[in-house]
Amino acid sequence: MAAVNSKRNALPKLENFRRIVVKVGSSLLVEKTGGLKEAWLKALVDDVATLHKAGADILVVSSGAIAMGRGVLKLGRRPLELEEAQAAASVGQIALARVWAEALAGHGIIAAQVLLTYGDTEERRRYLNARATLGTLLAHRAIPVINENDTVATQEIRYGDNDRLAARVGTMASADCVVLLSDIDGLFTAPPQKDPGAAFVPVVPRITAEIEAMAGGAASELSRGGMMTKIEAAKIATSGGATMLIANGTVEHPLRSVREGRRCSWFLSPSTPVTARKRWIGGTLEPRGTLSVDEGAASAMRAGKSLLPAGVRRVEGSFNRGDCVVVRSLEGGEIARGLVAYDAIDAVQIAGRSTRDIEAILGYSGRKEIIHRDDLVMSGDGAIG
C-alpha cells in the first residue's frame, strides 16, 4: 500500500524538533475515581524536561479538567449536561494547573496556564494576541499548559476535543511537531478492536481519502477523542507545516518509549511552519488594505525587521486588526504582505508617528510594530501569489 512505509530509518526523530506540542488526554492523567495518576505524570514530565533541557520549546495541551472536577463535585460516571461539564471544568482546572506547575517545578521549569476558546484560535484579531503571548512565554523558556476554556465555551463554538485544539495551538505557535498521546499505538488500516487483520501504519506521508477511511466513521469513536478527530487534527497540523505523531500514552515514559523505538504513527508535512505560514499570509488571505511606506521602512523590512508606524506614510482600505494588508513603496510597488496589528481607523492615526506616542494618540498601549516581522512575508520569496 502506497501510504504505508515501514522503513524505520525514514522516520522522523522526536529529538530533532525544535518546538513540540504534547497533548495529554484525560484518561491518561485521571483515574476513573477522579484521582490523579501521579506516577505517570511524573514520568511524562521527566520526558518533557529531557526534551526541554536539550533546547526544544514545549507546549502542553492537557485535558482532565472535567474528569478531575467531576470527582470533586461527586457527579459520578453519568453523562453530564453542558452546564455540569462547565462547572466541573472550572473546579478541575485549578487542580489540573497545580499538578502541572508542581511537576514541572520539580525540574526547575516554569509553567503557565493558558485557557483558549475556539474564537481565540480562529478569529485573527484574537489569534494574534494568543500567538504573541505563547511566543513570549516560550522566549522565557516557560511551558504553557493549555486547555480549552470549557467554562465559557458553548456547544456551537467549542472544540470539545483537545486533539484539534492541540493542532491549532501547534500552527498558532509555529510548532514543528504535535504529539497526541493516545490510548492506542497509532493508526491502523481498520479499527483493531473489530478487525484482527488490521495492520499498523507507522507513517502517513499525506492524508488521502484512503487514510481517512482507515480512521473509520463512528465505529472507531470508541476510543476517546476517536481516530477521526485525530485525522482532523493531523490535517490541521500538517497543513500548518508541523509533523504530527500519535503515540501510546498508557505506558510510563511515553516520549522516551518513542525515542527508544516503540511503534507510533507519524503524519508528515509537505512544508515547514515558516513556509506554511508565509503561504497562508501571502497566498491564501485576501488583502483588506494597503500601507504605503517610506524607503527607510522598506529597507528595514528587507533586512528582516518589523514595520513600525513611523515608516508608514499612507493607509488605505477598511481593515481590522489581524487582517492581511499589502505593503507598498511610495511609488506603488508591492514590497510585502502581512497581518496588521491595528484596525484601519487606528492605523491612520499612528501612521508616521513614533512608537512612543501610540498610547497618547490612541488612549491605549498597542503593539509597537504595525506589522510584526513574524507576520510579514516579503514579495519575491515565492510565497505571494
66 lies in the site for ligand GLU, by CB under 6 A: yes
Please, which residue, 183 or 195, has the CB nearer to ligand GLU? 183
- Nearest distance from residue 119's CB to ligand GLU, in Å? 16
Q: Candidates 14-22, 144-152, 307-315, 334-342 — which segment interacts with ligand GLU by CB under 6 A?
A: 144-152
Binding pattern to ligand GLU, positions 96-135, x when CB under 6 A? ----------------------------------------
| Beta carbon nearer to ligand GLU, 115 or 310 | 115
Among 47, 150, 323, 346, binds ligand GLU (CB under 6 A): 150
**Smallest gap from residue 37 Cβ to ligand GLU (A):** 15
C-alpha cell at 231: 485525522
Stretch that binds ligand GLU, among 61-69, 121-129, 201-209, 313-321 (CB under 6 A): 61-69
Please identify, among the stretches 9-17, 42-50, 58-66, 304-312, the one whose residues bind ligand GLU according to the rule CB under 6 A: 58-66
User: What would the grid cell of residue 67 be?
Assistant: 474528569
Residues between 155 and 214 with contacts to ligand GLU, criterion CB under 6 A: 161-162
Choosing from 51, 65, 142, 236, the residue that interacts with ligand GLU (CB under 6 A) is: 65
Which run of H or of E encompasses 24?
strand 19-24
CB nearer to ligand GLU: pick between 225 and 309 = 225
Task: State which residue, 29 or 347, has the beta carbon closest to ligand GLU.
Answer: 29
Place of cell 520549546: 57
- Asked if 27 contacts 181 with a C-beta cutoff of 8 angstroms, the reply is no
Cα separation, 7 vs 2, whole angstroms: 13
State how far the Cα of 117 lies from the Cα of 3, in Å rounded to an integer.
34
Of the pair 146, 307, the CB lying nearest ligand GLU is at: 146
Residue count of the chain:
385
CA angle 351, 356, 359 (to 5 degrees): 80
| DSSP character at residue 198 | P
Give the contact letters, 7-46, x = binds to ligand GLU (CB under 6 A), - = no: ------------------xx--------------------
Max distance between CA atoms of the chain, in angstroms, equals 69
Q: Do 49 and 109 meet the contact criterion of CB atoms below 8 Å apart?
A: yes
Residues 267-286 interacting with ligand GLU (rule: CB under 6 A): none
From the list 59-67, 112-120, 215-223, 263-271, the region that binds ligand GLU by CB under 6 A is 59-67
Q: Are strands 334-339 and 324-329 parallel, antiparallel or unpaired?
A: antiparallel
* Residue from 144, 186, 225, 282 in contact with ligand GLU (CB under 6 A): 225
Distance (Å, rounded) from C-alpha 365 to C-alpha 253?
45
Are 63 and 147 a contacting pair, CB within 8 Å? yes
Which region, judged by CB under 6 A, interacts with ligand GLU, from 146-154, 253-261, 275-283, 296-304? Answer: 146-154
Q: Is 260 left (phi over 0), alpha (psi -120 to 50) or beta?
A: alpha
Determine whether 323 is exposed, middle or buried from the number of CB atoms within 10 Å of its CB (0-12, 13-18, 19+): buried
Q: 189 or 229, CB closer to ligand GLU? A: 229
How far apart (Å, rounded) are the C-alpha atoms in residues 93 and 259? 30
Q: Look up cell 522516551; give the residue.
A: 256
CA distance 324 to 114: 26
Is 45 strand, coil or helix? helix
With respect to ligand GLU, which residue has the nearer C-beta, 151 or 355? 151
Site of interaction with ligand GLU (CB under 6 A): 25-26, 63-67, 89, 147-148, 150, 161-162, 225
